[in-house]
A and B are shown apart, each in its own frame.
Chain A
Amino acid sequence: MASVSMITRPQRWDAPFGPEMTDADIHRLTALPEFASIDADSFPKHTPLDGILRNDTRIVRYSPGDIVVREGDYGNSAFLVVSGNLRVVIAPALPRNLIGRQLSERKNIFQALAQLWTNRTVPEVRDTSRYGNQSVRSNNQSEADARVFLQDIPAVLDEHQTAQLGPSTLFGELAALGRVPRTATIFAEEEAELLEIRWQGLRELRKYDPTWRKTIDDRYRENALKVHLKSSSYFSGLSEEELNEVADATLFESHGSFEWHVSYKRMRDQGKADKEPIIAREGEYPDGLLMIRAGFARVSIKMGNGERTLTYLGAGDTFGYDELWAGHQGNDISLQTSLKAVGYVDLLRVPAPILGKYVFNKAGHHVTSPLHQLASHAVAQDAPLEWAVEQRFVNGTQAMLIDLNRCVRCDDCVRACASTHGGNPRFIRHGRTFDHWMVANACMHCADPVCMIGCPTGAVHRSLETGAVVINDDTCIGCGTCANSCPYNNIRLVEINDVAGKMVRDPDSQKPIMKATKCDLCETNPGGPSCVRACPHDALQRVTFQDDETFGATS
């Protein structure tokens, strides 16, 4: 006789960001100038302002020295200072040991070994008592209670250049919305109260309130410019005043769609290549240096009746330098290659006169671009690169690349994955192929993880410790948004079973409760991805496409 257990179907905001938020808290927040000016009627009924404040924000209190965000961390939330003062570390960065990076809880060898007999015969077993009563956010809260703090604030202030952040300061929105790592460490200088807004809530505030939209966009633009210019080798030697002049003249541009995966999937299903908006066209006059801030862009050149990909550019790369340099030398030269957005691209355009003034006229700033050398490659040599860009695999930082010339199809990788994930593998040894290379259907832990867009509870997130994109099973409501968003079909929804092995159903609809699953790089298991370790033939590797010479890395 078939038996089932019942739990209520999970809904958005079942797992609020701050479960302890009270009516008084909401009342107090709405009195803050940042929220008092908002027209609550501009929010839809299903996403009211007070609902966002109640469920997508939480009030966090920090003691002096407590670290709020750390440089390099991936974070999905922004912070608004309610009271107290914070300090942002500008330079030099705090050493790793001082900011006490937390280690993710890995199994020890005995716990890992115990999976041999604790794995159940029924796959995808969950302890359903976890759901509903408490959320991982509350667990995160408790982790935050044990947060790392700086013992000697005066010494830090003496040895590091810092800036003060006072009440009403919004920060962290760049990382939250741009899905990029935090760029600085911020700690509490005194007792401080912060409103932490997870990115889903920030997105809604930006979407429905014009003031928040302008504030976020202006800050986003300003921060992106400053941070990126400072990190560029072209401008790293400039004084603050010069940098400000460069920043003032620099244009901030976005090309392609923020949700590029939607059109990409549609076009791919039709067997066509996705449209790539042209950023700069071969033969046009170069009016400025293009600096990629986020996303990817394809550098191509006309060949016959088509376009040949020479390389692709990612964050930190530049385009048009050679032509601008030639122009500065008095040679009138047009762009030798085209630049197209592969998905979504954020870039900065530094005008040519500014470049001439601060880069070309200063010795030691001339950096030769290798792009002109790439056209001498044989066409066949660039074929894997062409394919990888076409398929958008360049987005992957931990793509599962299988050399089919070595793979004996033994499925040891699949079995290893299953044995480390409760009996069910987190990938399919199948995928798109080119020559003897296959990119299997395993999460690639993308540089631009579009699966995180639209997750109503923030269950899909970047691991603070490893940067891997992981799914928090406790807060996943099985809505399938991430699975639909993933351009590579690497996320699967699975029916779950309770600890007794019974299928878990929703009592109202009688439909099974689903959870999203995907490769987590064996984050909690010792030794790294078990698939790589299990492959006897060195056929399977996890690669960052940008670093792989087969696919056009120009190291």
Chain B
Amino acid sequence: MNAIATRYTLLWVGAVAGLVILGVYTHLANLQLERSEFITGYSLFALMIALALFNARKKLAMVPLIRSAYWLAIHVVGGAASVVLFFIHTGSIWPSGGYEQALALLFYLVSVSGIIGYAMQRINPRRLVQTDLEIIYERIPAELSEIREKAEAVILACTQETGSDTLARHYMETLSWYFRRPRFIYNNAFGGKAAEHWLRLQYRTVSRYLNDNEREYLDHINDLAEMKAKIDIHYACQGMMKGWLLVHLPLAAAVLGLMFWHVIVVNVYAL
């Protein structure tokens, strides 16, 4: 077993053990008509704080804190455990009371966004590797601009050399749309092949009207289009991997805010 698997295994064992203890404690407390919510509630509160600290750790990269990889492992396992602990704490999937329902809704949303983000981070890197291209996200606009300029130069050269405007017309009518900016974003994000299909279609559509000389230019355009298709996949996949945090983090902040108020209210009115 490698170090990563060992790390996660140990954390899962710890999490399951902790949950079993809390579950048994809750069950026994309920049998004795005692209130277990404070223990489970404060456990959940502490766990949520620990999960939130992962983001703080990222801001403190210059300090020799525990490696971020360990924090992520704790975040993933702790996040999953927090869902179970939430059920133990509330005793149901959907609590009663408007405020608690709002808190539960946000908790579910942040949990779901976390699961989606984790899955995305496991799947998308491999998809990016399969493009056989590596590009920094922030450089994508400049790369696309460069490809567009090259494509337009090819079209211009084709027109000047062959005297035919067929390819130029097709470019202006259809292909320019594709080269203008990232396309098929959602399809690329979910692993679709729409861009490939669209490019093949465009190639076949115009190829029949071209002679061999013009077809060489079309092939060049096609090469550029295929390069852009790869960059579009990077744009979609990297964008998703960056963008999901914009959902997860505000939701997590909202849950923390409501959770703090929940704790205050409980301590003021329930004790």
Residue numbers of A with Cβ under 8 A of B are 109, 112-113, 115-116, 404-410, 412, 415-416, 419-420, 429-430, 433, 435-436, 438, 525-528, 530, 532-539
Query: Are A109 and B64 touching (Cβ within 8 A)?
Result: yes
Q: With A and B bound together, what is the CA distance between A535 and B4 in angstroms?
A: 13
- Whether A419 lies near B67 (C-beta < 8 A) is no
Residue B63 contacts which of A113, A430, A536, A538 (CB distance < 8 angstroms)? A113
Q: Which residues of B contact A528 (CB under 8 A)?
A: 64
Please tell me if the beta carbons of A536 and B134 are within 8 angstroms of each other in the complex.
Answer: no
> B-side binding surface: helix, strand, loop or mixed?
helix
Size of B's binding interface in residues, CB under 8 A: 27
Q: Is the C-beta of B59 less than 8 angstroms from some C-beta in chain A? A: yes
Chain A CB within 8 A of B128 CB: yes
Judge whether B126 and A405 touch: CB under 8 Å. yes
B125 near A: Cβ within 8 Å?
yes
- What are 23 A-to-B residue pairs whose CB atoms are below 8 Å? A112-B62, A112-B64, A113-B62, A115-B62, A404-B129, A405-B126, A409-B128, A410-B241, A412-B58, A419-B61, A420-B62, A430-B134, A435-B129, A525-B62, A527-B63, A527-B64, A532-B67, A533-B61, A533-B64, A534-B68, A536-B71, A537-B72, A538-B69
A residues within 8 A CB of B129? Answer: 404-405, 435-436
The residue of chain A having its C-beta at the shortest distance from the C-beta of B138 within the complex is: A411
Determine the chain A residues whose CB is within 8 A of the CB of B67 once the complex forms. Answer: 532-533, 535
State whether the Cβ of B121 lies closer than 8 Å to any Cβ in chain A: yes
Interface flag for B31 (CB, 8 Å): no
Q: Is the CB of B136 within 8 A of A116?
A: no
Q: Is B61 a contact partner of A415 (Cβ separation < 8 A)?
A: yes
B242→A536 contact, CB < 8 A:
no
In the docked arrangement, what's the CA distance between A412 and B54, Å? 12
Contact of A408 among B4, B58, B60, B241 (CB under 8 A): B241
Contacting residue for B61 out of A420, A429, A537, CB 8 A: A420
Chain B 34-73: CB-based contact to A (< 8 A → 1; otherwise 0) = 0000000000000000000000001111111101110110
Query: Which residues from chain A contact B71 at a C-beta distance below 8 Å?
Result: 536
With contact pairs A404-B129, A408-B124 given, residues A530 and B62 touching in the complex (Cβ less than 8 Å): yes
By beta carbon, the residue of chain A nearest B245 is A410
For A428, the closest partner residue in chain B by CB is B136
Inter-chain residue pair count (beta carbon < 8 A): 86
Whether A416 and B136, one on each chain, are in contact in the complex, defined by CB atoms closer than 8 angstroms, is no
Nearest to B7 among chain A residues (CB) is A538
Task: Given contact pairs A410-B242, A430-B134, A536-B68, enumerate 20 new A-B contacts (beta carbons under 8 Å).
Answer: A112-B63, A113-B63, A116-B59, A116-B60, A404-B134, A408-B125, A408-B241, A409-B128, A409-B238, A409-B242, A412-B61, A416-B62, A420-B61, A420-B62, A526-B64, A530-B61, A533-B65, A536-B72, A538-B3, A538-B4
Q: Mark B128-159, 1 if CB is under 8 A from A, else 0.
A: 11000010110000000000000000000000
Q: Give the nearest-CB partner of A531 in chain B.
A: B61
B25 to chain A, nearest CB (A): 33
Cβ contact of A430, chosen from B60, B61, B64, B136, cutoff 8 A: B136
Known pairs A406-B125, A408-B124; A429 contacts B62 (CB<8 A):
no
* CB neighbors of A among B51-105 (8 A): 58-65, 67-69, 71-72
The 10 tightest CB contacts between A and B, nearest first, are A527-B64, A416-B61, A536-B72, A536-B68, A420-B62, A526-B64, A436-B129, A408-B121, A115-B62, A538-B69
Task: Given A116-B59, A416-B61, verify A535-B69 contact (CB < 8 Å).
Answer: yes
> How far, in whole Å, are A499 and B63 apart by their CA atoms in the complex?
24
Q: Within the complex, what minimum Cβ distance (angstroms) separates B77 from chain A? A: 13
* Complex interface: chain B residues within 8 A of A419 (CB): 61-62
Question: Assuming A410-B242, A530-B61, is B125 touching A433 (CB within 8 A)?
Answer: no
Chain A nearest CB from B50 CB (Å) reads 15
Chain A residues closer than 8 Å to B63, beta-carbon distance? 109, 112-113, 526-527
The 8 Å CB contact of A113, one of B60, B68, B121, is B60
**A540 nearest CB across to chain B (Å):** 9
Cα A555 to Cα B6 in complex, Å, equals 23
- Bound together, the chains give a CA A405 to CA B127 distance in angstroms of 8
Are A412 and B134 also in contact (CB < 8 A) when A530-B61, A534-B61 are? Answer: no
Measured between beta carbons, the chain A residues less than 8 angstroms from B241 are 408-410
Q: Which of B69, B121, B137 has its CB near the most chain A CB atoms (within 10 A)?
A: B69
User: When chains A and B are docked, how far (Å) is the Cα of A410 from the Cα of B55?
Assistant: 13
Instruction: Specify which chain B residues have a CB less than 8 angstroms from the CB of A526 in the assembled complex.
Output: 63-64
Are the CB atoms of B61 and A536 closer together than 8 Å? no
A537 near B121 (CB under 8 angstroms)? yes
Q: Given the complex, which residues of B lie within 8 Å of A435, measured CB to CB?
A: 129
Are A404 and B128 interface neighbours, CB within 8 A? Answer: yes
Residues of chain A within 8 A of B238, CB atoms compared: 409
The chain B residue sitting closest to A106, CB to CB, is B64
Give the chain A neighbours of B68 by CB distance below 8 A: 412, 533-536
How far does the alpha carbon of A419 sit from the alpha carbon of B69 in the complex, in Å? 18
CA distance A136 to B40 in the complex (A): 59
| B159-211 CB contacts (< 8 Å) to partner A | none
A340 to chain B, nearest CB (A): 29
Q: Pick from A412, A438, A533 the residue with the most CB of B within 10 Å.
A: A533
- Which B residues are in CB contact (< 8 Å) with A416? 61-62
Q: Are B125 and A407 in contact (CB under 8 A)?
A: yes
CB distance from A534 to the nearest CB of B (A): 5
Instruction: Give the CA-CA distance A112 to B60 in the complex, in Å.
Output: 9
Q: Is the CB of A433 within 8 A of B134?
A: yes
Task: For B59, list chain A residues within 8 Å (CB).
Answer: 116
How close is B78's CB to chain A, nearest CB, in angstroms?
A: 14
Q: Report the separation of the CA atoms of residues A409 and B234 in the bound assembly, to the nearest whole angstrom.
A: 10
Closest B-chain residue to A412, C-beta based? B58
CA distance A404 to B65 in the complex (A): 25
Nearest A residue (CB) for B136: A430
Residues of A within 8 A of B60 (CB): 113, 116
Contacts of B64 in A (CB 8 A): 109, 112, 525-528, 533
B14 to nearest A CB, angstroms?
19
Query: In the complex, what residues of B have CB within 8 A of residue A538's CB?
Result: 3-4, 69
Q: How far is the CB of A418 from chain B (nearest CB, A)?
A: 9
CA distance A438 to B134 in the complex (A): 9
Give the complex CA separation of A112 and B121 in angstroms.
Answer: 30
With most chain B CB atoms within 10 A of its CB, the pick from A406, A408, A435, A530 is A408
**Which residue in chain B gives the minimum CB-CB distance to A415?**
B61
Measured between beta carbons, the chain A residues less than 8 angstroms from B4 are 538
Q: A536 vs B136: C-alpha distance in the bound complex, in angstroms?
A: 18
Interface-centre pick from B59, B60, B62, B64 (highest chain A CB count, 10 A): B62
